[in-house]
């Protein structure tokens, strides 16, 4: 066997048959003849005791360098050498190989890859390219092999950049929100409306009378009052059953099995206080029914739960002195009746010793206290007074028989989603003539119009306010992670026609003079009782309102209502709805015990509905959108730059890869590799076959054309 050795950078050929103990194979191909004049060329000496042989300068040194390079090249390509059939001629034309033989080679090679489990994709690519294509196409092969990775990275980078620009231009949050905004069964926005994740708190401040005896005796001309509170109630509680069970177990343990009659009366009071069981519900829209006209019908629920830890030391059993709403209301209703009617009422008042100012607990005043007059009214006039106990908050949150029809956005536009279409089947409330009674397009505070424009006027409706109040934008702010708009009630919202002629419809009872500015008559919504609404402490009201009371300290920061709304979604980020409930008494000087309250505006309480926590579900998608957008832009740009770097690097390497001696080596060894896989021509292994390690083919002269040795 002939091998080439590289000793001290000099190439030589030597015989190594006997030393390896390899038998001569009769089927082996004849030895490659030595180069001409190799025997006559005098040696230059010995290196390490071995003959150097004939030196072919400069080809010998060039061949040594090429062999070293090809060793590195083979390791990079993952080549391994197996026993080969040396009988296969080393220089066969591709056209001389029959098609059947080619198919067997291809099949055998694929089976070899499957058995070994190792597939060298780069070699396979080279085999296919060289075998099936003309050598003249090797430039195309080199470009694909070297630049394919860079092109893939460039494509990914371009896709990333385009995607980031699309996110920036078309705002997928807006597209997704428009798609999810429409109310539908199981929809995200619909569920947020049906069970709002916003904690609403009702804070109640009672106007406690501090000079009852002095005022009733005539010693003081002005009634001194002081707001006491807050008494805080949560407007929903998702721990209803747990709280119910705790309270009921506590009351059950406190009551013995056979209580005395006196204890029975006390436990009855406990059970009355335990009416909180009936209002421990979620703030929901229940019995939802979808209609064919793009609306849905639901029953609103606004229950209350006592929150002692937020009440600043106040308790529901605090004793306060407050107006007797039952007596003063009946006195105002009967004051313009006939003499005999007034006479009968006066006899009843004196017989029951009913007083206009009474001492009671805070809870009794808010949720119901017993009154002999109210009991008689319920007994003899059940169609008018269908309750035997009168509590102001209890009446404000009486939603029996109420239902709303809401726009779903399916047919009436996205801006109307969640707004009221009809209330109790009508587009207006019956207490007012149009347009004062219109409620279509108003919000109950759960959701306002979407995609609000700068000059849009919003409407806020609550049954306790007995109207839909206009809201106007007064500024912008950043609240709870949102760029939001701030709204206040229209300054003319409580005008009864003194300033704005269009508001004359709020002065419905023409037989009496209209109330002063800042006071809205809502008696029609409170069973005919003389109830009037204003801002707390008569803020922005006429000075005549506080002429007979002392204790008003209006403060816009504490007593003005405001709404912070995210303009695209229309969802409230923060709000505080504040209003005061008063009794606007007329001429009641002919009614027993009520003379001191003639033509007087008497404050009862003021409330504040606030949000103390807002779930940041709206913030998730906008933040995610920004992250995705910048990731796509930066990542796409990085991939594009890196692919450009690889392209330039590969292009510089391509010039070295296309050197003639490298191409010659590829063609020569690929031809031998393909032929060696023919089954019937494979050798029997290293032990019985002479392995021809002729590497002379690696040292083709630089001037030799590959086509002359391998014709296709």
Integer Cα distance of 475 and 452 in angstroms: 14
Whether residue 202 is found in the same domain as residue 251? no
pLDDT of residue 483: 86
Whether residue 447 is predicted with pLDDT greater than 80 in this model: the reply is yes
Whether residue 246 is found in the same domain as residue 261? yes
- Which residues, 6 or more positions from 189, have their beta carbon under 8 angstroms from its beta carbon? 180, 181, 182, 183, 417, 418
Q: Of 253, 280, 307, which marks where a domain is finished?
A: 280
Whether residue 271 lies inside any domain: the answer is: yes
Integer Cα distance of 184 and 206 in angstroms: 42
Whether residue 271 is found in the same domain as residue 322? no
- Which residues, 6 or more positions from 48, have their beta carbon under 8 angstroms from its beta carbon? 7
Whether residue 179 lies inside any domain: the answer is: no
pLDDT of residue 93: 57
pLDDT of residue 247: 34
Whether residue 636 lies inside any domain: the answer is: no
| Per-residue pLDDT tens over the stretch 559-568 | 999 999 988 8
Whether residue 381 is found in the same domain as residue 502? yes
Whether residue 551 is found in the same domain as residue 603? yes
Among 391-405, 505-519, 525-539, the range with the most confident prediction by mean pLDDT is 525-539
| Per-residue pLDDT tens over the stretch 140-150 | 444 455 556 66
Name the least confident of 132-141, 675-684, 698-707. 698-707
Integer Cα distance of 631 and 346 in angstroms: 81
**Mean pLDDT on 595-601:** 93
Whether residue 676 is predicted with pLDDT greater than 60 in this model: the reply is no
Whether residue 230 is found in the same domain as residue 356? yes
Whether residue 516 is found in the same domain as residue 503? yes
Whether residue 635 lies inside any domain: the answer is: no
Whether residue 652 lies inside any domain: the answer is: yes
> Between residues 651 and 522, which one has the greater pLDDT?
522
**Mean pLDDT on 441-458:** 89
DSSP of 249-318: HHHHHHS-SS--HHHHHHHHHHHHHGGGGGG-----EEEEEE-TTSEEEEEE----EE-GGGSTT--TT-
> Between residues 426 and 66, which one has the greater pLDDT?
426
Integer Cα distance of 294 and 249 in angstroms: 46
Whether residue 362 is predicted with pLDDT greater than 60 in this model: the reply is yes
Query: Is there a contact between 663 and 198 (Cβ–Cβ < 8 Å)?
Result: no
Could you tell me the pTM of the whole model?
A: 0.60
pLDDT of residue 695: 37
Q: Quote the number of domains for the chain.
A: 3
Whether residue 221 is found in the same domain as residue 344? yes
Q: What is the dihedral of CA 154, 157, 163, 164, to 10 degrees?
A: -150
Q: Of 214, 249, 280, which marks where a domain is finished?
A: 280
| Per-residue pLDDT tens over the stretch 213-253 | 999 999 999 999 999 999 998 875 444 433 333 333 333 33
Whether residue 181 lies inside any domain: the answer is: no
- Long-range contacts of residues 486-489, Cβ cutoff 8 Å, at least 24 apart: 486/562, 486/563, 486/564, 487/458, 487/562, 487/563, 487/564, 487/565, 488/560, 488/561, 488/562, 488/563, 489/460, 489/561
Integer Cα distance of 541 and 492 in angstroms: 11
Whether residue 260 is found in the same domain as residue 401? no
Whether residue 433 is found in the same domain as residue 547? yes
pLDDT of residue 111: 56
- For residue 694, the enclosing domain spans 2-142+643-709
Whether residue 205 lies inside any domain: the answer is: yes
What percentage of the chain reaches a pLDDT higher than 70? Answer: 57
Whether residue 539 is found in the same domain as residue 568? yes
Query: Is there a contact between 233 and 362 (Cβ–Cβ < 8 Å)?
Result: no
What percentage of the chain reaches a pLDDT higher than 90? Answer: 22
Whether residue 332 is found in the same domain as residue 399? yes
**Mean pLDDT on 590-604:** 93
pLDDT of residue 299: 87
Name the least confident of 26-30, 156-160, 239-243. 239-243
| Per-residue pLDDT tens over the stretch 682-704 | 444 444 333 343 433 444 444 44
Name the least confident of 187-196, 420-429, 484-493. 187-196
Whether residue 85 lies inside any domain: the answer is: yes
Q: Of 567, 599, 614, which marks where a domain is finished?
A: 614
């Amino acid at each position: 066997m002939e091998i080439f050795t590289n000793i001290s950078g000099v190439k030589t050929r030597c015989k190594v048959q006997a030393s390896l103990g390899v038998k001569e194979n009769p089927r082996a191909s004849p030895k490659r003849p030595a180069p001409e004049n190799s025997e006559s060329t005098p040696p230059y000496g010995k290196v390490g005791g071995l003959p150097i042989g004939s030196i072919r300068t400069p080809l010998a040194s060039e061949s040594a360098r090429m062999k070293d390079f090809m060793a590195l090249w083979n390791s990079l390509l993952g080549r391994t050498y197996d026993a080969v059939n040396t009988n296969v001629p080393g220089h066969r034309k591709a056209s001389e190989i029959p098609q059947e033989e080619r198919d067997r080679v291809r099949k055998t090679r694929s089976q070899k890859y499957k058995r070994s489990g190792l597939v060298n994709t780069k070699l396979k690519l080279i085999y296919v390219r060289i075998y099936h294509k003309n050598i003249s196409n090797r430039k195309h092969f080199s470009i694909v092999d070297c630049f394919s990775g860079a092109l893939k990275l460039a494509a990914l980078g371009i896709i990333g950049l385009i995607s980031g620009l699309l996110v920036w231009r078309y705002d997928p949050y807006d597209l997704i929100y428009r798609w999810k905004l429409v109310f539908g069964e199981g929809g995200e926005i619909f569920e947020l409306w049906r069970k709002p994740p916003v904690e609403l708190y009702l804070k109640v401040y009672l106007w406690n009378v501090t000079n009852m005896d002095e005022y009733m005796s005539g010693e003081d001309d002005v009634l001194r009052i002081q707001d006491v509170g807050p008494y805080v109630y949560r407007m929903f509680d998702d721990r209803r059953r747990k709280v119910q069970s705790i309270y009921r177990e506590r009351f059950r343990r406190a009551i013995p099995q056979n209580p005395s009659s006196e204890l029975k009366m006390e436990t009855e009071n406990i059970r009355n206080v335990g009416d909180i069981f009936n209002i421990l519900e979620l703030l929901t829209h229940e019995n939802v029914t979808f209609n064919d006209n793009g609306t849905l019908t639901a029953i609103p629920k606004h229950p209350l739960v006592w929150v002692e830890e937020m009440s600043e030391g106040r308790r529901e059993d605090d004793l306060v002195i407050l107006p007797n709403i039952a007596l003063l209301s009946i006195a105002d209703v009967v004051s313009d009746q006939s003499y005999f009617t007034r006479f009968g009422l006066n006899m009843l008042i004196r017989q029951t010793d009913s007083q206009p100012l009474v001492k009671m607990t805070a809870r009794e005043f808010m949720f119901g206290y017993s009154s002999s007059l109210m009991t008689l009214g319920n007994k003899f006039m059940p169609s008018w007074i269908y309750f035997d106990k009168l509590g102001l908050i209890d009446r404000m949150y009486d939603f029996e028989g109420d239902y709303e029809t809401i726009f779903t956005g399916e047919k009436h536009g996205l801006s109307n989603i969640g707004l009221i279409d009809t209330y109790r089947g009508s587009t207006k409330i019956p207490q007012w003539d149009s347009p004062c009674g219109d409620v279509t397009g108003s919000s109950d505070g759960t959701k306002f119009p979407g995609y609000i424009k700068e000059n849009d006027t919003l409407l806020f409706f609550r049954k306790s306010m007995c109207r839909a109040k206009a809201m106007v934008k007064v500024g912008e702010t950043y609240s709870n992670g949102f760029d939001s708009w701030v709204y206040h009630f229209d300054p003319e919202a409580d005008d009864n026609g003194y300033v704005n002629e269009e508001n004359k419809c709020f002065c419905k009872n023409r037989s009496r003079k209209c109330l002063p500015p800042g006071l809205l008559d809502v008696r029609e919504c409170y069973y005919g009782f003389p109830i009037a609404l204003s801002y707390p402490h008569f803020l922005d009201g006429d000075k005549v309102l506080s002429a007979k009371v002392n204790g008003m300290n209006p403060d816009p920061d504490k007593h003005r209502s405001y709404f912070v709304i995210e303009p695209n979604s229309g969802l409230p980020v923060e709000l505080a709805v504040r209003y005061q409930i008063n009794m606007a008494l007329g001429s009641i000087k002919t009614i027993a015990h009520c003379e001191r309250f003639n033509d007087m505006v008497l404050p009862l309480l003021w409330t504040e509905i606030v949000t103390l926590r807002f779930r940041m579900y709206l913030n998730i998608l906008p933040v995610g959108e920004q992250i995705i957008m910048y990731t796509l832009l930066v990542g796409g740009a990085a991939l594009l730059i890196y692919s450009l770097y690889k392209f330039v690097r590969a292009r510089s390497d391509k010039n070295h890869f296309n050197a003639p001696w490298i191409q010659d080596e590829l063609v020569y060894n690929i031809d031998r590799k393909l032929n060696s896989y023919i089954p019937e021509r494979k050798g029997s292994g290293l032990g019985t076959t002479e392995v021809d390690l002729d590497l002379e083919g690696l040292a083709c002269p630089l001037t030799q054309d590959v086509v002359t040795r391998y014709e296709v």
